Amino acid sequence: MNSQFSAFWGATRYEFVMQARRPSLWITFAVFTALLLLLINQGTSALNVVIPALLKQESLHQVFASWALYVNTFLPICLGVLLAGRLPRDARTKVDELLLAAPATQRARLFGKCLGATAATLIPMLLVYAGGIVYILSFAHSPANVLLAVPQALLAFAVIALPGVLFVGAFSIACPAVIWSPLYQFLFVGYWYWGTLWFHADIPNLSRTLLSPIGLFSAMGIYGLNESSGGNHPIHITGSPLQGVASIALLLALAVGVIFALDGYLRWRQVSR
Amino acid sequence: MQVVLHNLTKTYGGRVQALQGVDLTIPNGMFGLLGPNGAGKTTLMRILAGVLRPTQGTIQVGEYSGNTERGRTQIKRMLGYLPQDLGMYPDLSAREFLDYIAILKGLDNKTARRQRVEELLEMVALTEVSKRKLKTFSGGMKRRVGIAQALLNDPQLLIVDEPTAGLDPEERIRFRNLLADLGGDRTVLLSTHIVEDIAQTCQQLAVMNRGQVIFQGPVTDLLRQAEGYVWSLTTMAGARPGGNLTIVSTVNQGGVIQYRVVGEPEEVAQLAPNAQRVEPGLEDGYVWLMREQRQPSQPFAGLRA
């Protein structure tokens, strides 16, 4: 058991290192974020208009929650696309034979791969989030706010964004085992637009359910964000704290379940080869 | 430690039979596995390494059965595997890659693991470049990293599949010497179609062809099979030995060509009366064995001018 935990932790560490070293990781997030800010940060949607207005209506930690929701609405697109190639890479680099011949279980390696690669891909997203927090704090002039800001901001991110990120990460690691990785990337971007960004009430999608990966229910239910403070989301939903917690639990449980399913599928494929 | 395979069969996709009822006993020490491309050597090694599952048959490695999950895990703990198509993570350094593989092989103690990695880097003469990324390594350097990762857990069973393919002569000799040193108390299964690698390092071998073992035993037995059937003859340029003779080697010496051939004495006596019988080498024994497996392709036709 100790050996398998070591294998899991070793895989987490080295998958993190390999993903963090990819120049494409940083370039993709930088370009996407720059484009996003260019497109959205205009007129009445400009951050220097929206943030002071929010600070008048809500508490600081609620503004942090709004920002976490905002970041998690767009940036997971990059996350999903950048994680999709991690599993096929083992076969492409022909490392998979060595990995299969090692006594460490495949399950331990897969969980390590998912956690490590996702954590590395999360760093640029966290940097964007942190940049936004600093910008928000520049409008909140009380020194006491600044002291409390770091733990509050981290908590908001952990509650609202992290479960969805792990959910997206798990699916992006697992699905390319079944379909061609570039096809998954294409479908993922398409789904994210349809399921998350296109909030038309007449077309059912996950954005109104507890499985919403952007953390809508945890933002509305746990942080009490109302319609006007929800980052201009046109979705008219209210959530209870219980629904917020349920959403977090479901997203995390599904993320874990997907990796178990991936392990099962890869075992079956190995036996039937 | 002995490895025993019984009735080992592997069929891909229900149609391609890569192994057909292989019975093989691999004793302690260096054991060679020879055979042409497509003979099933790599499939056999992948099954032993736990990368593939057999369709049928049993695998016993020492006291462990390779047919159960638990047995496979125990075998992997004492296994070192150098695959034919060696892959590495290009963005890791040699040290990082070895450390990662060591973790996966169960070397949990950080200090002991790092020490082991350093020892092996020293053994394969890669200490000075250990911090460089693997994508900057030459083929020979990658092979050395490959053998280092196979030795991380001080394996009792070492499986090396075509380890010298693509290496220059110096690298090949270095590799062979390293493998020979490792023979000792271990079981080393060396698969290759470079006969010289086996001749220099192994006392026992098996020859595979079309998914079956067609010979197993001491190297000397394979040589003995070819005794009396190996000849050296000299001809003028353009006159190539014909008939049912199999040419093992050709040396052009200006206007004269020296051939080393295998064939029946009666046929040689008629085709090349000046041929001299020579002592067989391992390559001759292999060629003679493979020839015996095939149908004769041509009737006796004399020297072709």
Instruction: Name which of B73, B77, B96 is nearest A14 (Cβ-Cβ).
Output: B96
Question: Do the chains contact at A102 and B76, CB–CB below 8 Å?
Answer: yes
- Name the closest residue on chain B to residue A97, using Cα atoms: B51
Return the residue of A nearest to B48 by Cα.
Answer: A101
Rounded CA-CA distance B96/B72 in Å is 26
Note the pLDDT of residue B79. Answer: 95
**B103 and A6 in contact by Cβ < 8 A?**
yes
**Residue given tokens 């951050």 in the structure block:** A47
Among the partner-chain residues A11, A100, A103, the one whose CB lies closest to the CB of B106 is A103
Q: Is the dihedral of CA B172, B176, B177, B181 positive or negative?
A: positive
**A222 in Cβ contact with A216 (< 8 Å):** no
Those residues whose C-beta lies under 8 Å from the C-beta of residue A59, and which sit 6 or more positions away, are none
d(CA A168, CA A214): 10
Measured between CA atoms, the residue of chain A closest to residue B12 is A273
> What pLDDT shows up at residue B274?
82
- Higher pLDDT among residues B58 and B193, named by residue: B58
DSSP assignments along chain A, one per residue: -HHHHHHHHHHHHHHHHHHHT-HHHHHHHHHHHHHHHHHHSSGGG-HHHHHHHHHHHS-HHHHHHHHHHHHHHHTHHHHHHHHTTHHHHHHHTT-HHHHHTSSS-HHHHHHHHHHHHHHHHHHHHHHHHHHHHHHHHHH---HHHHHHHHHHHHHHIIIIIHHHHHHHHHHHHHGGGTS-HHHHHHHHHHHHIIIII---TTS--GGGSTT-TT-HHHHHHHH---GGGSTT--------HHHHHHHHHHHHHHHHHHHHHHHHHHHHHHHH-
Confidence label for B299 from pLDDT (cuts 50, 70 and 90): very low
Architecture of domain B3-218: 3-Layer(aba) Sandwich (3.40)
What order of strands is seen across the sheet that includes strand B212-218?
B79-82, B157-161, B187-192, B29-34, B204-209, B212-218
Q: What tens digit of pLDDT does each residue of A53-80 get? A: 888 888 888 899 999 998 999 999 999 9
Q: From residue B81, how far is each of B135, B152, B175, B214 by CA, in Å?
A: 21, 10, 15, 25
Give the pLDDT band of residue B182 (cuts 50, 70, 90): confident
What is residue B195's predicted lDDT score, i.e. its pLDDT? 86
Mutate to test the interface with B, among A8, A98, A263 (most CBs of B within 10 A): A98
Q: Is the pLDDT of residue B298 over 80?
A: no
Cβ proximity of B103 and A7 under 8 Å: yes
pLDDT tens by residue, A122-170: 999 999 999 999 999 888 766 666 777 889 999 999 999 999 999 999 9
CA angle A191, A63, A160 (to 5 degrees): 40
Sign, CA torsion B89/B94/B100/B103: positive
Q: Of A186-195, A213-222, B269-278, which gets the smallest average pLDDT?
A: B269-278
pLDDT category, A26, cuts 50, 70, 90? very high
Q: What is the pLDDT of residue A202?
A: 64
When mean pLDDT is compared over A48-62, A158-172, A211-225, B269-283, the highest value belongs to A158-172
Which long-range contacts (C-beta less than 8 Å, at least 24 apart) are formed by B137-144?
B137/B94, B139/B166, B139/B167, B140/B167, B140/B168, B140/B171, B142/B86, B142/B88, B143/B86, B143/B167, B143/B171, B143/B175
Enter the tokens of residue A271. Answer: 């036996």
Confidence of residue A226 (pLDDT cuts 50, 70, 90): low
* Chain B residues near residue A17 by CB distance under 8 angstroms: 92, 96
DSSP-derived secondary structure letter, B300: -
Span A7-28, mean pLDDT? 97
Q: Identify whether the C-beta of residue A241 lies closer than 8 Å to the C-beta of residue A221.
A: yes
Percent of chain A with pLDDT over 70: 90
Q: Which two tokens stand for residue B145?
A: 């990293």
Q: CB–CB of B108 and A3 under 8 A?
A: yes
Q: What is the ipTM of this complex?
A: 0.90
Q: Name A272's Cβ contacts closer than 8 Å, sequence gap at least 6.
A: none
Q: Is the pLDDT at B303 greater than 50, yes or no?
A: no
Residue B242 DSSP label: -
Weakest-pLDDT range from A98-112, B135-149, B240-254: B240-254
What does the domain layout of chain B look like in residue ranges?
Answer: 3-218, 226-293
Nearest to B52 among A21, A109, A273 (CB): A273
Out of A64-78, A197-211, B23-37, which region has the weakest mean confidence (pLDDT)?
A197-211
Closest-CA distance, A101 to chain B, in angstroms, reads 6
Give contacts of B85 with chain A, Cβ < 8 Å. Answer: 94, 97
Give the nearest partner residue to B91 out of A18, A99, A270, using CB atoms: A18
How far, rounded to the nearest angstrom, does the alpha carbon of residue A7 sit from its chain's CA centroid? 25
pLDDT at residue B301 in the model: 38
Give me the mean pLDDT over the A211-239 stretch.
73
More confident of the two residues A2 and A74? A74
